[in-house]
Structure 1
Amino acid sequence: MKKKVSSFHSIKRDALLYLLLLLPLAYIIIFKYAPIYGVLMAFQDYNIFEGISGSKWVGLDVFNFIFHQNSFYRALKNTLALNFLDLVAGFPAPIILAILLNELRYVRLKKLTQTVLYLPHFLSWVIIGGMVYLMFSSGGMANSVLSSLGLGNIEFLSQKTNWLIMYVGVGVWQSVGWGTILYLASIVGINKDLYEASDIDGCSRLRKIWHITLPGIKPTIIMLLILQIGRMISIGFDRPFVMGNSLVSEYSDVISTYVYRIGIGSGDFSQATAVGLFQSIVGLVFLVAANFIAKKIGEQGIW
């Protein structure tokens, strides 16, 4: 009885805080949990006029059909390949940048640099895609400069290997500044006494980075790496759609554009839902596996 009174008193005391909690809770229920009901479309011959309750149940026939489509496997392969390239090139970039920013001694220069590096994150991929096209298309600024130097044109956006380099490079440029925030916050939390002790021992900056800074942010690196691996099967729609074109569709067609093409373009919502469900399940498997491996080798996982 005393425990119930205590709980009631706690709720009454913090009533405003619980009231503030209602809005994000409602958001999660409405936009995260309620749409799970729509997963049923993956097991139906969904008819938009009859709805989920009236559509014919077909079991795993939709998945069987998808897994026999070459276009699906191409989209899956491209998704994994592009995410792997992003992981290799993009994951270390914010770590290196955060360490470099931390080593800057001029506070004004440090703040100015951070602001400039953060800005691309706030640009939409439509704007970034337009900028990339104006600068790197056949008649763009980059090729105009190369032509004036007598070096000839380079097909940045229509030659497959060049497009891959552009795709990864632009992605790193867009996200690297924003990605430094967590690492800089982790660096700030490192005990300053360790740096003072290293100064007394005569350690160089590189030794401080290797023996103090990197071990200090190691838990953050592991956690973000696990989350990144969990997203290996997922890819945003806007970046490959905006930067892709028919000449490089062999590389730019990914799961998100595949779902858009069959779901919105062809009106086959059952296939689109089935692909999305497959994507979520495989992503969950990757996440659990990465967390399990991290804990097995003695690192701290995300749960």
Structure 2
Amino acid sequence: MSKNLESLSEMAMVLNKKKRSRLNYIKKNYLLYLFLAPAVILVFTFNYVPMYGVLIAFKDFSVARGIMGSEWVGFEHFRSFLTSPNFYQIFMNTIKLSTFELLIGFPVPVILAIMLNQVRKSSIKKNIQLVIYAPYFISTVVLAGMVFIFLSPSGPINSLLTIFINNPISFMSDPDYFRTVFIASGIWQGAGFASIVYVAALSNTDPQLHDAATIDGASLLQRIWHIDFQVLKPVMAVLFILSIGGIMSIGFEKAYLLQTSMNLPASEIIDTYVYKRGLIAGDWSFGAAVGLFNTIIGLILLVTANTVVKKLKGETLY
């Protein structure tokens, strides 16, 4: 009994020492915490405080009665969405579009970074980076306008295709082409900028590793696989997990701007559906319920991907 009491008292003393050391550290570096305070306040204000509004997903929300005064309906809006005739089509459009974009678009920045790492002349490398980074700074509205111009029946793409085919292709009216157009435009716009992280990771690679591998007779592809790719693996794992978490949020703006009445069977996703039902139609409770459903699916995918990568002994978020 006395030994147990002694061990408990020792644990209490250790905990007290840790608390005192933390308090002393905070007092000593209080300026760092003051610099951090604005970011914490912004995140709390714009990310956590609005979570109170999620309550309207479980209520028949009325502006006149307010959130607390509105009638509680439970999971009625979720049930209505899951049993709606177009639920399967909207859900599958979201899954297909985001999955194909992830599978096709994720390796492209890695390949660009490895290719840039092989360019030894700094002036040429900077010019290439300028060209591939520039599309990222084009607004989504301008990008959508460029897509419509280039892919119109009288646009430059169809002008080239008429050399091989007789009739122009209606890219923006045919649902079969929507996913290709959406994914290709996304890769063109974002792949270059996304490669910055990988380029930064490769810049820390010890050049002596490549020199030693070259002396041992390793080819370029072997050096890329056994050195560069191994350096990028932890970064790729973390970014892939984050991409899995955002698989349900593929971007409302571009999907809505590229959407037409003809390609609606392929372009109607959860985000555009929430906008139409929640804001345009004024059904705020239903829109909030669909948005919450979308967020929960994304959270489940994020946790699942992190767990799988952890079991594979890769780099994880937590």
> Normalising to structure 2: TM-score of the pair?
0.90
Aligned 8 A contact 2:248 2:294 in 1: yes
- How far, CA to CA, are the matches of 1:172 and 1:78 in structure 2? 19
Q: What residue number does 1:176 align with?
A: 191
Q: What residue number does 1:255 align with?
A: 270
Spell out, residue by residue over 1:29-88, the C-alpha distance to the aligned partner (whole angstroms, 9 max, x if none): 100100110111011000122110110111111111111112233221111000011012
SS of aligned partner of 1:70: coil
Aligned 8 A contact 1:72 1:258 in 2: no
- How far, CA to CA, are the matches of 1:125 and 1:7 in structure 2? 46
For structure 2, list consecutive stretches of 5 or more residues without a partner in the other structure. Answer: 1-15
Q: What residue number does 2:7 align with?
A: none
Q: What residue number does 2:42 align with?
A: 27
Q: What residue number does 2:238 align with?
A: 223
Q: Pairwise mapping of residues 1-303 of structure 1 onto structure 2 (< 5 A)?
A: 10-147=25-162, 151-303=166-318
Deviation at 1:198, TM superposition (A): 0.5
* Inter-CA distance 12–300: structure 2 relative to 1 (3 Å threshold): closer
- How far, CA to CA, are the matches of 1:299 and 1:14 in structure 2? 34
Aligned 8 A contact 2:175 2:267 in 1: no
Aligned 8 A contact 1:235 1:255 in 2: no
Deviation at 1:8, TM superposition (A): 5.4
- 1:78 partner letter: N
Provide the identity percentage. Answer: 40
Bigger radius of gyration among the two: 2
SS of aligned partner of 2:55: helix
- How far, CA to CA, are the matches of 2:130 and 2:110 in structure 1? 17
Deviation at 1:14, TM superposition (A): 2.9
The root-mean-square deviation of aligned C-alpha atoms, in Å, is: 1.9
Spell out, residue by residue over 1:145-181, the C-alpha distance to the aligned partner (whole angstroms, 9 max, x if none): 4447775412222122222211111111011001101
- How many residue pairs match? The answer is 303
* Inter-CA distance 3–205: structure 2 relative to 1 (3 Å threshold): closer
- How far, CA to CA, are the matches of 1:292 and 1:7 in structure 2? 31
- How far, CA to CA, are the matches of 2:113 and 2:236 in structure 1? 12
- How far, CA to CA, are the matches of 2:98 and 2:262 in structure 1? 20
Larger deviation, residues 148-157 vs 62-71: 148-157
* Inter-CA distance 62–152: structure 2 relative to 1 (3 Å threshold): closer
Aligned 8 A contact 1:84 1:232 in 2: yes
* Inter-CA distance 212–148: structure 2 relative to 1 (3 Å threshold): closer
- How far, CA to CA, are the matches of 2:90 and 2:214 in structure 1? 53
Deviation at 1:95, TM superposition (A): 0.6
- 1:90 partner letter: G
- How far, CA to CA, are the matches of 2:311 and 2:27 in structure 1? 44
* Inter-CA distance 63–4: structure 2 relative to 1 (3 Å threshold): closer
For structure 1, list consecutive stretches of 5 or more residues without a partner in the other structure. Answer: none
Structure 1 outlier segments of 4+, above 6 Å: 1-5
* Inter-CA distance 148–11: structure 2 relative to 1 (3 Å threshold): same
